[in-house]
Amino acid sequence: MAAQRFRVLPGFGLTMGFTLFYLSAIVIIPIAALFLKSFQLSWADFWRVVTTDRAMAAYKLTFGASLIAALINAIFGTILAWVLVRYTFPGKKFIDALVDFPFALPTAVAGLTLSNLFAGNGWLGQFLVPLGIKGAFTPLGVIIALTFVGMPFAVRTLQPVLENLDRGVEEVAATLGAGRLRTFVKIIAPTLLPTIITGFALSFARAVGEYGSIVFISGNKPFQTEIAPYLIVFRLEEYDYLGATAIAAVLLVISFVILAVINYLESWAGRYQR
Partner 1 sequence: MSIELKSVSKQFGEVAAVNNVTFSVNEGELLALLGPSGGGKTTVLRMIAGLEVPTEGDIYIRGQRVNDIKVQKRNIGFVFQNYALFQNMNVFKNIAFGLKIKKWKSADIKARVRELLELLGLEGLDKRYPHQLSGGQRQRVAIARALAPKPSVLLLDEPFGAVDAKIRQELREWLVRLHHDLNVTTLFVTHDQEEAMEVSNRIVIFSRGNLEQIGTPRDVYEQPANEFVARFIGVMNVLELEVFKNVGRAGELQFPAPGYADGERIRIGFRPFSVQISSDLNQFPYQAVVRQTYFLGVMLRLELELESGLLLRSRMSKEEYANLALYDGKKVSLQIRNYRILSREHEPLGPELTAPEKSSLFVGEGI
Q: Does 182 bind partner 1 (CB under 8 A)?
A: yes
Whose CA is closest to 81, among 186, 160, 194? 160
CB of 7 to partner 1, least distance (A): 23
Burial group, residue 199, by CB count within 10 angstroms (0-12, 13-18, 19+): buried
Q: Does 273 bind partner 1 (CB under 8 A)?
A: yes
CB of 157 to partner 1, least distance (A): 19
Q: How many CA atoms lie within 13 A of 40 on its CB side?
A: 13
Cα(41)–Cα(193) distance, rounded to whole angstroms? Answer: 43
* Signed CA dihedral, 101, 102, 107, 108: sign only: positive
Of 175, 181, 237, 239, the one binding partner 1 by CB under 8 A: 175
- Is-contact 212 107, C-beta < 8 A? yes
Size of the site for partner 1 (CB under 8 A): 20
Q: Does 168 bind partner 1 (CB under 8 A)?
A: yes
CB of 163 to partner 1, least distance (A): 16
CB of 83 to partner 1, least distance (A): 23
Residue type present at position 42: S
Of 12, 177, 181, 237, the one binding partner 1 by CB under 8 A: 177
Of 166, 181, 237, 239, the one binding partner 1 by CB under 8 A: 166
Q: Does 169 bind partner 1 (CB under 8 A)?
A: yes
CB of 170 to partner 1, least distance (A): 9
Query: For partner 1, which is the closer residue by CB, 60 or 182?
Result: 182
The greatest distance separating any two alpha carbons of the chain, rounded to the nearest whole angstrom, comes to 76
Residue type present at position 231: L
Q: Does 274 bind partner 1 (CB under 8 A)?
A: yes
Residue type present at position 211: Y
Cα(69)–Cα(62) distance, rounded to whole angstroms? Answer: 10
Of 93, 179, 181, 237, the one binding partner 1 by CB under 8 A: 179
In the complex, which residues of this chain contact partner 1 (CB under 8 A)? 166, 168-169, 171-179, 182, 186-187, 190-191, 272-274
